[in-house]
A = this chain, B = another copy of it.
Amino acid sequence: MATKFEPLSIATKEDFKLGAPVKWCAGCGGHSVLSSVINVLPETGAPKENIVFVSGIGCSSRFPYYINTYGFHSMHGRAMAIASGIKAANPSLSVWIVTGDGDSMAIGGNHFIHIIRRNINVNILLFNNKIYGLTKGQYSPTTPKGSITKTSPEGTIENAFKPGELTMGAQGTFYARTVDSDPKMMREVFAAAAAHKGTSVVEILQNCVIFANQVHKEITGKDVRKDNQIYLKHGEPMIFGKERNRGLMMKCSKMEAVTIGENGITEDDLIVHNAYDVDDTNHYRLVRMELPEFPVAMGVIRAVDSTVFESELYNQVQKAKKESKIKNMDDLMHSGNVFESKG
């Protein structure tokens, strides 16, 4: 039975709400991400029965239980691989992956880089709380070096992955960063991710109130966020700061954070963000910016068109179907060296 699609039914956010209780801790950053996703889904234009949420294991990975779509809560680290199969089976589905920093960067690291390399058209929501939440507080591959956690009583000695940097290393076509406490930014970023054709990686700085409370506070704190974040938008100059008087500029092939008005610097000297630049050198720079030298880059940092795995796959399938004389198994079994025995 081939799958049929109903005429596109305009979904509303009510369509995506489930009666079931959301079992994250009170104050967990997950709650606001969930409502931003529910808000954005109707805007993506996907018929509601075509939307699939796939997750691994972790607090964040409970997500599919809290949203009324097709959902698959799978194995720790394997959501990317399962989603790859879903898309290779049916490219018309709108597939969202919800994963944690442990799920995607530790056990799932390989599937993460491979789905990106293949550029399969899915949206990855990476809840980066820099800790293993569900198993109660061990460090993850994104935990800042030196952090004291249940498995690092003297502080971690491992360097932390930056999901954006790894995405670039794996030739990612879309990477964005956002914050659980900024619904407006989440909504814009999620919509852009959904619109991108290819693997969209969205890193969400999410707060785990229980095991890594305030781990992002230098970036997301109410008092500092305007100075410590830069919300990048394609085509706009790179300005940030409470006073909107700080910016990013290239000097001798290096990027610098500068103040408009000082040393004769004007807005025109600032870099204009080009998210569509095929060459990712600048995006690579942006994703690695760190406090205190730089603000932390937010928004859609890279969004580049490229061939999508499942489209190419079905192009080959269509071509083969058209060109081959073998239309079914009887044809196949009688092709090539067949011997007749008169017995």
Contacts and interface: CB of A to CB of B under 8 A. Distances in A.
B169 A168 contact: yes
A330 interface: no
A315 to B, nearest CB: 8
A254 interface: yes
Name the prevailing secondary structure of the A interface residues.
helix
Nearest to A118: B158
A312 B254 contact: no
Interface in A147-196: 154, 157-162, 165-171
A313 B154 contact: no
A110 B284 CA distance: 21
A210 interface: no
Contacts of A253: 250, 253, 282
Contacts of A109: 109-110, 113-114
Contact of A309 (B158, B168, B250, B307): B158
A197 interface: no
A158 B117 contact: yes
Interface in A252-284: 253-254, 279, 281-282, 284
B281 A319 contact: no
Contacts of A306: 159
A240 to B, nearest CB: 20
Given A113-B166, A159-B307, A254-B279, 6 more contacts: A113-B161, A154-B316, A165-B169, A253-B253, A281-B281, A281-B285
Interface of A: 107-110, 113-114, 117-119, 141, 154, 157-162, 165-171, 250, 253-254, 279, 281-282, 284-285, 306-307, 309, 312-313, 316, 319-320
